[in-house]
Amino acid sequence: MNIIVTTIDFILNWSRANSLWPFTFATSCCGIELMQTTASNNDIARFGSEVFRNSPRQADLLICAGTINHKMAPVLLRLYQQMAEPKYVIAMGACACGGGMFCNNTYSVVNGIDKIIPVDIYLPMCPPRPEALLDAIRKLQKKIKTESITTRKEFVNSHKSNLTEKAEILVKAPDLKIVKTDNCYLDYALEFECKDYSQTPSIEYIVDYESELLNNLANLKASGFNMLTSIIATDWQDCVELNYRLYSTFQSRFFEHKIYVKSETDSVTGIYPSAYFDECEIYDMFGITFKGNPNLKRLLNPKSWIGHPLKKDYVQCDERLVWNE
Amino acid sequence: MSRMKLNLGPQHPSTHGVLRLILDVDGEKISGCEPVIGYLHRGMEKMAEGMTYLQYLPTVDRIDYLSGFFNSFAYVSAVEKLLKLEIPERASIIRVLLMELNRIASHLLWLGTYLLDLGAVSPFFYTFRERELILNYFEKISGQRMMYNYFVFGGVRHDIEFLNEIAPMVKTIVEKLGDYEKLLTDNPIFISRTKNTGILSREEALAYSITGPNLRASNSHLDFRSQSDLYKNFEFKIAKADEGDCFARYKVRLDEIRESSKIIYQAVDFLAATTGDVNTGLKPLNLKIDHGEAFADVETPRGLTTCCIKSDGTDKPYRVKWRTGSFYAVQILPKLLIGNMISDVMAIYGSLDVMLPEVDR
């Protein structure tokens, strides 16, 4: 019996190890190094892995190149489940291995893809060099060659029993340090307006508390400020500052229009269409609603996200269910 | 005609990242489009509030990993504005030199991947071969291929080395650029897929806050380099095209590589002829910054990037906001795609040179 198993193992492992077809799965920085590995200088074809498949159904190897956040995690899980057995995973880069630079102080990153799917080879570095990825593929080939059909099943099943059995996975979110600050920021902001701003003479300020925003911006647009470069929101604890930063291509200068709002203000999408994404982002991050915005929604966080992360009093739940969108 | 919804992404080989587009299609025609972003949202802005100024410095390279020097520059110069630091001249010339090299590398990657999206595989190998020259040089001076962390508050980490390698390298790249043009500019397939596709008018581009090469392809001169003090000693033309279609955006980027090479030659000549300090010797550990607010604008390969820092007297920023070019380029996608065919989606989207980490931050 053992002789048969080892013979089958040898044949299977030989064929599996030498034609690992990777799945094109790149989310961020490591994806560029993955592309570089496939390009002419580091020709990945030497190791039988040049056939990149765009469908998970045709691929053997998932090279997870890049950061996975809570919005992307269900997608990764589904793609992994769609791959046919035998399937292998390389966690490429520090983010995929354990959160990397984003494991602290941030609320949205999953600290390591091994919380979601089983990982065969960990490849840390930020980002790994192409040579390192080739080395990881060689290591995986070695691992495959020593495997037996029986142990492979155990490896996957052990991970399954830990995690994938649950339909919705709770991922422990990192503890977030809350910056405690005084409530004096509005006063400070006002004081700051009056200062001589000789360093950047092209900038002017308007501060208004009454809602004359739409009028002011319409006048500014008529006077040549034809571009709204961005809306910068800041949480000053008792109110949120919105800084509309305009630019005039005629006068080649910036202009800043600041307002302070509690929870609601007018949308300026009628005057500057580019404000749409900005307003959605501010709604997502600060909880400010914009009257008249065509489709106010959470832009960056998943729809089921709780709280507004860039508020100073934002507290991250310890365990967060954001998976069933 | 059959109407249906088509989901594109977030895992799609042509989005170069994790963009999701929900398309309403009417047969082959697109009648609606909703971009969904956030699949690479890493909370960079919140991260800054829990880190010191120095701790945050290496992470800003990751905001747009194809043009790390630009993000570094935006952050570092915003902090310098808050500290009212004067930068040695040699340091700012080194910054210009490295940023322009980075611009060439970024545009080369765009060219290769854009043509890959259009179905041409071989240009990908050529452009990556040339890009590798620049990355190797960056690795020699900074120790990293993509995340350099080379700019520090008050200058650059150390004086530039291997200066004599730059001019031959850039010369090779510009020569190869001629080859690409021979391959592409008169190529009937490339022309028929890009000309008169995805036309963006100047007014529309400004209303949607499009900047960078995308705006300059729509008959605009707006280039924030020409207003910056950093570039005042350099002679270069602003690459520009009138048509506003995908082909115009391609032409502008290729011209920009040539213009960047001119800046690089001038910078190399200057650096070879002079010596001097490359940083102010500021000790950034436990750096505390008084109450203040500073903006730093930089023209990246993908448009205007602004870093806004608000400080509150402690060693951590109170708020950091990143304004990036790609964020607005995604927003204009519905405008450009509606009315076009499904096969044009990637031709138009790719021509905008959207970098998803920059969108989601």
**pLDDT tens, position by position, B160-204:** 888 888 889 999 999 988 888 888 888 888 888 888 888 888 888
* Cβ–Cβ below 8 Å for B17 and A26: yes
* Cβ–Cβ below 8 Å for B331 and A176: no
Are the CB atoms for B41 and A69 separated by under 8 Å?
yes
**Quick one: what percent of chain B has pLDDT higher than 90?**
13
Per-residue DSSP letter, B59: G
Of the pLDDT bands very low, low, confident and very high (cuts 50, 70, 90), residue B309 is very high
Between the two ends of chain A, the Cα-to-Cα distance in Å is 48
* Cβ–Cβ below 8 Å for B43 and A234: no
* Average pLDDT score over residue span B245-257: 90
* CA–CA distance, A64 with A215 (Å, rounded to integer): 50
Between A82-96, A153-167, B5-19, B323-337, the lowest mean confidence (pLDDT) is in A153-167
Fold of A185-318: Beta Polymerase; domain 2 (3.30.460)
CATH number of A2-172: 3.40.50.12280
Q: Which of B38, B293, B357 sits opposite A300 (nearest CB)?
A: B38
* Cβ–Cβ below 8 Å for B38 and A107: no
Q: Which residues of chain A have pLDDT under 70?
A: 158-211, 316-325
Give yes or no for A105 touching B (CB within 8 A): yes
**pLDDT tens, position by position, B81-114:** 888 888 888 888 999 999 999 999 999 989 988 8
Give yes or no for A207 touching B (CB within 8 A): no
pTM: 0.85
* Cβ–Cβ below 8 Å for A234 and B319: yes
Q: Which of B17, B59, B128 sits opposite A40 (nearest CB)?
A: B128
Least Cα separation, residue B68 to chain A (angstroms): 11
Range of the domain at B195: 43-324
Q: Is the pLDDT of residue B141 over 80?
A: yes
The total domain count for chain B is 1
Is residue A109 classed as helix, strand or coil in its secondary structure? strand
* Cβ–Cβ below 8 Å for B146 and A28: no
In a domain, B351, yes or no: no
Which pLDDT score, from 0 to 100, does residue A257 have? 80
* Cβ–Cβ below 8 Å for B39 and A109: no
Closest CA to B295 of A53, A164, A232: A232
Which pLDDT score, from 0 to 100, does residue A293 have? 84
Interface test with B, best of A277, A281, A316 (most B CBs within 10 A): A277
* Cβ–Cβ below 8 Å for B321 and A233: yes
* Cβ–Cβ below 8 Å for A102 and B47: yes
Helical axes A2-18 vs A149-159, angle rounded to 10°: 70
Which pLDDT score, from 0 to 100, does residue B103 have? 92
* CA–CA distance, A236 with B293 (Å, rounded to integer): 14
Give yes or no for B16 touching A (CB within 8 A): yes
Which pLDDT score, from 0 to 100, does residue A211 have? 59
- Count helices and strands in chain B by DSSP H and E runs: 14, 8
Residue B167's CATH number:
1.10.645.10
Which pLDDT score, from 0 to 100, does residue A177 have? 35
Buried b (16+ CB within 10 A) or exposed e, A74-92: bbbbebbeebeebbbbbbb
In a domain, B77, yes or no: yes
Domain-by-domain residue ranges, chain A? 2-172, 185-318
In a domain, B329, yes or no: no
Is the four-CA dihedral B163, B165, B168, B171 of positive or negative sign?
A: negative
Per the prediction, chain B carries an average pLDDT of: 87
Interface test with A, best of B332, B356, B360 (most A CBs within 10 A): B360
* Cβ–Cβ below 8 Å for B321 and A232: yes
* Cβ–Cβ below 8 Å for A106 and B47: yes
Give the A window 28-57 contacts with B, CB below 8 Å.
Answer: 28-29, 31-33, 35-36, 39-41, 52, 54
Between the two ends of chain B, the Cα-to-Cα distance in Å is 40
Is residue B312 classed as helix, strand or coil in its secondary structure? coil
Residues 6 or more apart whose CB falls under 8 angstroms from that of B88 comprise B155, B276, B277, B278, B279, B280
Least Cα separation, residue B272 to chain A (angstroms): 31
Least Cα separation, residue A176 to chain B (angstroms): 8
In a domain, B258, yes or no: yes
Two domains, one topology: A2-172 and A185-318:
no
Q: Which residues of B touch A227 (CB under 8 A)?
A: 206-207, 209
Strands B292-300 vs B155-156: parallel, antiparallel or unpaired: unpaired
Q: Which two tokens stand for residue B332?
A: 């204009």
